[in-house]
Structure 1
Amino acid sequence: MSDKELLIPASQIDSSAINARTRRGRIQMLLLLLACASPVIASYFTYYVIKPAGGKTNLGTLVHPAQEFNSAWLDAPIQGKWTLLIARPSSECQIKDEKCIEALFLMRQTRVAMGRESGRLQLIWVNTDGKPVDPEVTKVYDEKAAGLRVVSLPADPKLRAEFDTWLNKEGTGQQIQLIDPSPAKMMYFPVTNSPKEFSSMKKDLEKLLKLNHKGENL
């Protein structure tokens, strides 16, 4: 102990040590509280400052809440499957009809692009007028070669009206609908011939198939 310390009363030395320990204790307590509260602070910051608008997608539009699909509407195994679905009248879907063929082509190529996971994704075309499908279209987009199943609207007027309401909700009737295994519409995609948008659609589906296996019936 130095001469200066000898001149300081013992009570003052004890008081200084106590105050120092108290300050250290308070700092440690604040750090501990901050560590415990950081998740809450982060969530408040995210909600009130960043304000997320929902899940992020590359091309598809998320449907929230998902729109339940009634398996009685179509003669196809919708429950337990990931399904890309379009609804078009066959009379307007000739081989030279670019708008319709683009939709069929996009669905087929997207399924092919899933590689080893392609078996988990089925393609459904709802033929809304019940007329025979153009043989040239069938040749290129049949179920065996392209995995595309063509089904008709339900015969029951009530079921048909229910399906039509579901299909066209939020004005998405002309879009490509993505139905999850539950089954419910959870996303829809525009019909596009853009390579960039095709890549974005592929990424959306790859992400979904990678992260979601619940309820599948393979």
Structure 2
Amino acid sequence: MNRPAEHAAPGTRSRRQIYILIGAFFAPLALAFILYYGLDVRPHGSTNKGDLIQPPVTLPEVELPAMADQKLAANALRGKWSMVYIGDGACDSRCREALTLMRQTRLALGDDIPRVQRVFLVSGNCCDQAYLDAEHGGLLLGRIDNSQGQTLLETFPDAARAATLGRIYLVDPLGNLMMKYEPDAPQKGLLEDLKKLLKLSHIG
């Protein structure tokens, strides 16, 4: 005679529910990343994209000084898609070009604007306040000319030269550094990548 199946212990059921919740949270972002990059479902001939950072690098959570008594919170690069530029606070022509591209790219996202933020990591000479206030309202700023900033900078590709390369970086809502855009990358590439990632992922 078969014995009746035993019911799962309450602890087992609780763990199973936690695993299901974790899976539901991470699955959309993982699926978006796999579909877009791992399975190469990008349209053929569409080469004007950023350079994928493989594997993605999880950025450390460090609080950075900004200007005056302001701070960039340790979790500032979590919760939203982040476009990040690293450079001198005097903001030369490449810096202004990159910050403007980031601003215009975000504005072009329409209803998805709240899901994306812009971050300027300043390596020194902070900052051209008049220009930033006039042209880039809402830009998050953090100074990396300090020990905490160096800890963050060390996780970027070519860390020793990162502040002089003029790149724009893309960070996902979980704090993973995943793409970089060189100064000569087609400007529409950043917008096209972001649109596809936002469409595929409901995280952030």
Report the TM-score when normalising by structure 1. Answer: 0.61
SS in structure 2 at match of 1:123: strand
Deviation of 1:73 after TM superposition, in Å, equals 5.0
1:180 aligns with 2:156: no
Deviation of 1:134 after TM superposition, in Å, equals 4.0
Deviation of 1:160 after TM superposition, in Å, equals 3.0
Counterpart of 2:128 in structure 1 is 133
SS in structure 2 at match of 1:87: strand
AA of the residue aligned to 2:169: Q
Moved over 6 A (4+): none
Equivalences for residues 181-196 of structure 1 within 5 A: 181-192=173-184
- Whose Rg is larger? 1
Q: Deviations over 1:108-129 (max 9, x none)?
A: 1110111110110000001211
SS in structure 1 at match of 2:79: coil
Q: Following the alignment from structure 1 to structure 2, what is the Cα–Cα distance between the partners of residues 138 and 78? A: 21
AA of the residue aligned to 1:109: Q
Equivalences for residues 44-63 of structure 1 within 5 A: 55=40, 56=42, 58-63=48-53
Counterpart of 2:62 in structure 1 is 72
SS in structure 2 at match of 1:125: strand
Q: Following the alignment from structure 2 to structure 1, what is the Cα–Cα distance between the partners of residues 63 and 179? A: 19
Equivalences for residues 19-58 of structure 1 within 5 A: 55=40, 56=42, 58=48
Tell me: CA distance 1:172–1:121, structure 2 relative to 1, closer, same or farther (3 Å). farther
SS in structure 2 at match of 1:167: coil
Q: Following the alignment from structure 1 to structure 2, what is the Cα–Cα distance between the partners of residues 80 and 132? A: 26
Deviation of 1:132 after TM superposition, in Å, equals 2.9
Tell me: CA distance 1:58–1:142, structure 2 relative to 1, closer, same or farther (3 Å). same
- Structure 2, unmatched stretches of 5+, are 1-36, 65-71
1:73–1:154 CA contact under 8 A, matched in 2: no
AA of the residue aligned to 2:152: F
1:162 aligns with 2:151: yes
SS in structure 1 at match of 2:118: strand
Bigger drift between 123-132 and 62-71 goes to 123-132
Q: Deviations over 1:141-175 (max 9, x none)?
A: 121xxxx11222274x2x33322211244788231
